Structure 1
Amino acid sequence: MRAVARAVVLPGTWPAALDLGLVDGERWLSRNLATEIEQRRLFPWIPVFFGLGILLFFQAKGTPALWAPAGALALCIAGAVALRGKPFILAVMIALSALFAGFTTGVVRARSVAAPVLAKVTIAPITGFIETVEDREEGKRVLVRVTDIKGLAETERPRLVRLSVRKGDGLSAGQFVAGTARLLSPPEPAWPGGYDFARDAYFKGIGAVGSFTGAVKRLDPSVAAPLSLRVAAGIDEARNALTQRIATAIGGAAGGVGAALVTGKRGLIPEETNDVLRGAGIYHIVSISGLHMVLAAGTFFWLVRALLALAPGAALLWPVKKIAAGVAMIGATIYCVFSGSDVATVRSLVMTLVMFGAVLVDRPALSIRNLSIAAVIVLAREPEALLGPSFQMSFGAVAGMMGLLPLLQWKRAEGRAETLLDQGLRWIFHAVTGLIATTLVASLATAPFAAYHFQTLNPYGLVGNALALPLVSLVVMPAAVLGVLSYPFGLDGPVWRLMGWAVARVIEVSGWVGGIGGSTLVVPALGVGALGLLSLALLIVALSISSFRWLALLPAGIGLALAADPSRFDVYIDREGGGAAIRHAGGQLSLVGRPSAFVVEQWLRADGDARAADDPSLRRDARCDPQGCVVEMRVGHHVAYVQDVAAFEEDCRRASVVITRLKAPPGCNAALVLDREALLARGATAIRFGPKAIEIRSVRRGSEAMAWSERRTGETADPPKENGPRRARPVPEQDLPEDDFSSGEPD
């Protein structure tokens, strides 16, 4: 019982072989469960159930009541206390308490950040304080804390808006500005399951995005800026000043990358350089997260410990290691604040503080228990981080290394004297194999999350990281720390140039690796089921210490099978009906209408299609004229995209699905009609055709099913009662000469 209640991580290794006691299931289960309890491996499952509670919160419709999860949490805690004498029930009560604590945290967080969100496109004068400024190649992007938007009541006015400025010379954080802006509500996903900028913006307090349409005037503020804004503006100004200093000292693309590594401002990195780094699988180096925080804090730790070791009295009488750990914690905190305190940076700071805090109390610096504590702290602070790639990939990589690296440990042969050369060769061997092993394990652990969020895999990322990370670890980051320390004295120029030389080599290596054929593979979007199973397999491997680890083979196998045969959508529709991507008879997507290039790129990546948004082949298989387009699908159905009301009579009669940004006539007899009103209610929509039914998934309405025999128009949403197929009649070609067709591009 005490072992369950006070679960503490102890070192362990991977079971050498599968326990043959598996034949006797009950004895195998009890023996391995006893091992897990004895090794105190139940505690790491607390953040797992905490995260499950957060996931349940995000599945809830609307805003759940606070009393329900909080009351359930109180009951579970009371049950755990009352039944603490029964180990199994106690473990169940603790798990349920963690689950309801996660749900409660989500409710509290959603209510604490609640702020008005712009309801419709608005062009109006706006005034407010600039909170942050980001320099970009095409201008600046500012975050404005709004004081007034003409025509909007205070209850409808967003608290923060993010605006682009083409000519933003002289703008800086803390200024009170006024100008006319075109404002839009934060965009929803381009397809159901895609990146949800609106959700991220909500939790950041951003209620609108857009751009200034004219000159931006700097004015004397009518009200005093709040203290929080003055502090944020001061930090942002210092970051921008250092960013410009580093970028100017180094110059070129290396200057933008070098500045991003120190200050977190990535706006000066050319897009071509971003693509080069992504192609080599090392783009993670420009996002200040675990690698940067560990290297920065490690540099502080090493410097302080080395300097104190030079003084014999201090080395003998003072707790040098603990002092160095304390300084590293302070340095890491300052680095986090100065680099912008993004979600990834804060998460990395928490993990670093927990790691060095363990040094202060004489505990192992890196353990699964510390990782679990860091996960709970991060999720309690920002539960929405659980849904993002940053949290998933960073914690997944660390958990994977903790679970799999024991397999790759070597023991030195006993009884053999080593020469200095032997020691040097052994150190080099271990350094190289350690770098390769950690990169390989981290790549495998994060691959499912990369496939789910970005639909890309970098098979040569192992090579890119193996060549680039030594430069980053041994030159770039130590130079960054030294440059920041010498910056106040004005002696930082040579340090930045040294750092720039190393960054330039990293870019060159990335270009070479990215130039290898197949360095970037575009894969279809991983389904939620496959991602969940692969994540479960990773958790079992990382958190278990007994033969339970072999159970990971089951979810891993099923998850890989689902990932290898993904269920793709047949039609993607823009949230406003501005265009669609339809799978033609040849099996690829064909583009109709005029959706934005960004949206098209999202659709193509979700389908595992590597074509660019402007590829001419995207419009080759759509039969178009000024009234609209028709695409014939492999399953014998036709999808019509209507641009003119004159096309409704024929397309409603002939097509299986009609898509339009117009209002369809009430008598439209297509099996499914998605017009202006339907898309307004659904948002971005995707369709999958089955032999008996149409599966419809939309951003706002979730999943729906409709039998082919059910004829619908507009917003009829009741589930059909019949399942008989209805074969749509073929759509004839337009009665126009062949020369009158555009090449898939509607007029």
Structure 2
Amino acid sequence: MARAVALPRRWQPAIEFGLADWQGWLSRGASREIDQRRLFPWLAVCFGAGILLFFQAEGRPALWAPLSGLALFAGFAAAFRSRPAALAVCVGAAMVFAGFAAGALRSRAVEAPVLSRIVIAPMSGFIEAVEDRPAGKRLLLRLVDLKGTSEVDRPRRVRVTLRKGEGLVAGQFISAQARLLPPPQPAWPGGYDFGRDAYYRGVGAVGSILGPVKTLDPPAPPPWRLRLAAAVDEARNILTQRIAAAIEGPAGGVGAALVTGKRGLIPEATNDVLRAAGIYHIVSISGLHMVLAAGTFFWLARALLSLVPTLALMWPVKKMAAVTAMAGATGYCVFSGADVATIRSLIMTLVMFGAVLVDRPALSVRNLAIAAIVVLAREPEALLGPSFQMSFGAVAALAAFVPLLQWGRFEGRSNGRLETALRWLGRHAVGLVTTTLVASIATAPFAAYHFQTLNPYGLVGNALALPLVSLVVMPSAVLGVLTYPFGLDRPVWQMMGAAVSQVLDVSGWVGGFGGSSVVIPALGLGALALFSLALLVAAIFASALRWLAVVPALAGLALAAAPARPDIYVDRDGQGAAIRNAAGRLTFVGKTSAFVAEQWLRADGDGRDAADVNSAAASAKDGARCDPEGCVVESVDRRNIAFVQKASAFEEDCRRAEIIITRLKAPTLPCAALLVLDREALAVRGATTIRLGADSIEIRSVRKGDETVARTTAATRPPVPAARPARAVPEQDIPEDDRPEPDPSHDDFSSDGPG
């Protein structure tokens, strides 16, 4: 694949300037950038900067402000068009305002009610989508009625799970009793924001169906968009079951996911194996699948057209094949569910083949910038997710670094068929390994930031699995879809299943290596920004200015090597907490859900399993002193942190603890504690983390942002009484109805969610 693309110029040699000539070096580099028309890709960067500014804004920014700025600088650009430097500045500023305006427009376009409390009530609505899962089904409903909730407050869409659900198909109108919750906030500040993704997908609540489901006649005919979406979803489900039945086993679920985008039939153990081998990306329809599918259509169309001499000689066969590939890729996108990541990949694919139609290089930084602007104009929120960052980051890195490949060693005249075959194999083997290595390095910072996981053997896994996916699996998928209407598709699916089984075997082998999955502390925003800047500089600049990317890359490595890990994690409702003990490891207290505990451990770079640390026995082993009233943990800097379960513990803990955490409302009594995070404080802050410093504590929360509180010196604090002995576990004193439920929606937004 790397060989087939149009490559930019090779990197310039080493930096050619002395300290006294740095101005001349910069001037020569800037001149070449202008000559190579490399200023255009920076427009996409400016557009993205405007989107980032929008998401940093507080409240609801006015729409007229960015539109006015856009119009103003567009006018300045027209006035200064004869002055290149001023023109570039004005156009860049205009694009910043355009990005900000795109974010404001998108937020207004998707605005819909979001549930603000837990609701258990009858509901009714149309099924928009059905996903089969190993333990039931998951439904996306367009609500028509939710008892006890006004039309103004009723969510437009809800996502619910149920254990059975036989006979339910998209397009039906159903009624059922449901338990609905607001879409969950991040488990920690900086974590994956499920609520934000749900908002931009129009999902205002998540939950589960509690009883039987009734199929009813709809009060009114569904809109045509809903009928179309339901018809496509039902067709996808039918084909998913057909493929899974033909292949059987875990390979059947993976094979079906590659064709229809329905991943519910893949066992979780198989997902873990693919993640450990670093090739989980193959089951999420995105750039790789879109390129392979479009490439298959392109190759088939061009080969068939070339068989007709008149067409081959008189017609632009290559462009006709490109149009066929664009149509095939669009159909693949629609049939696979037109998910956010799939649509982004389609846009990028259409831009690339559109370049073929106008006789331009298919892969270029300019085309990449155009695709990025189109994607971000349609979905500004995509900039914050791992799918956009990793897909565009990988392509940008390939455009920048693939020219470093030394293809010449495999070129030249061959002396025979064997030598020709060896040269071909060598060229493509080096291309596969190098492009995989470049893409892996480019996406590693984004994987570290979003998933806190690295797969050191991903290069091996991809090098062994991708040839099977490229040469057998995806061509079989296209052929299977073409033969499906004739009922001749079963042998094709079985052939694809054999290749998928080999991919799973390779994944199991690579995932079995020691250290195949390494959990690392969450990368900070500063380090991520520096790595991103380094990638942009290396990919966009065409001159020796590319070497400037070394500066932010080294600075990012320095920040990543010394991550600023929180010392305390607090759940959004105070049901649980994790406190760094004197030994430097997290001690869990309270009743934290398994999913939230897993997110905290990953963010801390702790490879322990959540089930092994999130229990009363594990808390006592990790240094927590607990009784029925609560727990006390000695922090890493030897301060007492109290977790209160009963109101009777406040008086004692206020005397001896520096920080108090509780799901209760703290009484209005004098308290020597430096910080009290009770029900009211957490309602304002949401999920919270705390860093303990020598002179102050740094508080970071989802809703309130950053705060700093000066610490009281040890000499002025009250004396600490003897610790109360460990007694019965505090969890037994929490009423059963008050115990927190695991987040029912933590996998509902898996396209961009934690891996």
Tell me if both proteins adopt one fold, taking TM over 0.5 as the criterion. yes
2:628–2:730 Cα contact (<8 Å) kept? no
Cα pair distance change 1:692/1:317, threshold 3 Å = same
Note the C-alpha offset of 1:422.
Answer: 2.3
Note the C-alpha offset of 1:25.
Answer: 2.0
Larger mean Cα displacement after TM superposition, 438-447 or 306-315: 306-315
1:625–1:746 Cα contact (<8 Å) kept? no
CA distance in 2, matches of 1:660, 1:743: 12
Is 1:461 the equivalent of 2:464? no
- Equivalences for 1:55-134 in 2 at 5 Å? 55-134=52-131
* Partner deviation per Cα, 1:54-109 (whole Å, 9 max, x = no partner): 00000001110000000000001000000111111101011111111000000000
Match of residue 422, structure 1, among 414, 419, 429: 419
CA distance in 1, matches of 2:651, 2:422: 80
Partner of 1:675: 678
Amino acid at match of 2:207: G
Partner of 1:591: 588
* Partner deviation per Cα, 1:95-148 (whole Å, 9 max, x = no partner): 111111000000000000000000100111101000000001110000000111
Cα pair distance change 1:289/1:417, threshold 3 Å = closer
Note the C-alpha offset of 1:414.
Answer: 8.5
Partner of 2:174: 177
* Partner deviation per Cα, 1:161-181 (whole Å, 9 max, x = no partner): 001111211111000000111
* Partner deviation per Cα, 1:421-453 (whole Å, 9 max, x = no partner): 222111110100000000000000000000000
Partner of 2:132: 135
Is 1:656 the equivalent of 2:653? no
Partner of 1:5: none
Match of residue 8, structure 2, among 8, 11, 26: 11
* Partner deviation per Cα, 1:232-291 (whole Å, 9 max, x = no partner): 000000000000000111001000000000000000000000000000000000000011
Aligned partner of residue 535 in structure 2, secondary structure: helix
Amino acid at match of 1:199: R
- Equivalences for 1:595-614 in 2 at 5 Å? 595-614=592-611
Note the C-alpha offset of 1:728.
Answer: 4.8
Larger mean Cα displacement after TM superposition, 403-412 or 450-459: 403-412
Note the C-alpha offset of 1:312.
Answer: 1.5
CA distance in 2, matches of 1:416, 1:142: 60
Note the C-alpha offset of 1:11.
Answer: 3.2
Partner of 1:641: 643
Cα pair distance change 1:39/1:670, threshold 3 Å = same
Cα pair distance change 1:696/1:277, threshold 3 Å = same
- Equivalences for 1:99-248 in 2 at 5 Å? 99-248=96-245
Aligned partner of residue 128 in structure 1, secondary structure: strand
Partner of 2:625: 623
Match of residue 34, structure 1, among 27, 31, 34: 31
Cα pair distance change 1:690/1:744, threshold 3 Å = farther
Match of residue 342, structure 2, among 318, 339, 345: 345
- Equivalences for 1:556-595 in 2 at 5 Å? 556-595=553-592
1:35–1:545 Cα contact (<8 Å) kept? yes
1:250–1:497 Cα contact (<8 Å) kept? yes
CA distance in 2, matches of 1:449, 1:233: 35
- Equivalences for 1:216-295 in 2 at 5 Å? 216-295=213-292
Note the C-alpha offset of 1:224.
Answer: 1.0
Root mean square deviation, CA, Å: 1.6
Partner of 2:503: 506
2:410–2:423 Cα contact (<8 Å) kept? no
CA distance in 2, matches of 1:358, 1:453: 33
Aligned partner of residue 273 in structure 1, secondary structure: helix
- State the TM-score, normalized to the length of structure 1: 0.95
1:691–1:725 Cα contact (<8 Å) kept? no
Instruction: Give ranges in structure 2 of 5+ residues lacking alignment.
Output: 1-5, 735-755
2:581–2:633 Cα contact (<8 Å) kept? yes
Amino acid at match of 1:437: T
Aligned partner of residue 39 in structure 2, secondary structure: coil
- State the TM-score, normalized to the length of structure 2: 0.94
1:592–1:619 Cα contact (<8 Å) kept? no
1:568–1:688 Cα contact (<8 Å) kept? yes
Cα pair distance change 1:243/1:85, threshold 3 Å = same
Amino acid at match of 1:601: E
1:592–1:744 Cα contact (<8 Å) kept? no
Amino acid at match of 1:632: E
Aligned partner of residue 615 in structure 1, secondary structure: helix
Is 1:695 the equivalent of 2:724? no
CA distance in 2, matches of 1:730, 1:545: 65
Note the C-alpha offset of 1:29.
Answer: 1.3
Partner of 1:411: 408
Note the C-alpha offset of 1:734.
Answer: 4.2
Cα pair distance change 1:10/1:274, threshold 3 Å = closer
CA distance in 2, matches of 1:492, 1:76: 57
CA distance in 1, matches of 2:35, 2:561: 39
Note the C-alpha offset of 1:743.
Answer: 10
Note the C-alpha offset of 1:742.
Answer: 4.7
CA distance in 2, matches of 1:445, 1:323: 34
CA distance in 2, matches of 1:266, 1:539: 33
Amino acid at match of 1:170: G
Cα pair distance change 1:725/1:353, threshold 3 Å = farther
Aligned partner of residue 694 in structure 1, secondary structure: strand
Aligned partner of residue 129 in structure 1, secondary structure: strand
CA distance in 2, matches of 1:746, 1:584: 24
CA distance in 2, matches of 1:283, 1:401: 20
Amino acid at match of 1:151: G
Larger mean Cα displacement after TM superposition, 160-169 or 437-446: 160-169
Amino acid at match of 1:131: E
Cα pair distance change 1:179/1:40, threshold 3 Å = same
Cα pair distance change 1:665/1:744, threshold 3 Å = closer
Is 1:317 the equivalent of 2:314? yes
Cα pair distance change 1:10/1:411, threshold 3 Å = closer
Note the C-alpha offset of 1:20.
Answer: 2.1
Partner of 1:721: none
CA distance in 1, matches of 2:716, 2:32: 60
Match of residue 706, structure 1, among 706, 709, 713: 709
CA distance in 2, matches of 1:743, 1:63: 42
Higher relative contact order (CA 8 A, sep 6+): 2
Number of residues of Structure 1 aligned to a counterpart in Structure 2: 723
Match of residue 383, structure 2, among 383, 386, 389: 386
Note the C-alpha offset of 1:685.
Answer: 0.4
Cα pair distance change 1:640/1:735, threshold 3 Å = closer
Cα pair distance change 1:557/1:349, threshold 3 Å = same
* Partner deviation per Cα, 1:368-388 (whole Å, 9 max, x = no partner): 111111000000000000000
CA distance in 2, matches of 1:396, 1:514: 25
Note the C-alpha offset of 1:408.
Answer: 1.4
Task: Give me the identity figure in percent.
Answer: 66
Note the C-alpha offset of 1:19.
Answer: 1.9
CA distance in 2, matches of 1:211, 1:570: 34
Amino acid at match of 1:628: G
Aligned partner of residue 20 in structure 1, secondary structure: coil
Aligned partner of residue 614 in structure 1, secondary structure: helix
Larger mean Cα displacement after TM superposition, 409-418 or 572-581: 409-418
CA distance in 2, matches of 1:311, 1:416: 31
Partner of 1:6: none
Aligned partner of residue 65 in structure 1, secondary structure: coil
CA distance in 1, matches of 2:8, 2:505: 40
Note the C-alpha offset of 1:418.
Answer: 4.0
Partner of 2:741: none
CA distance in 2, matches of 1:417, 1:279: 41
CA distance in 1, matches of 2:241, 2:38: 48
Partner of 2:737: none
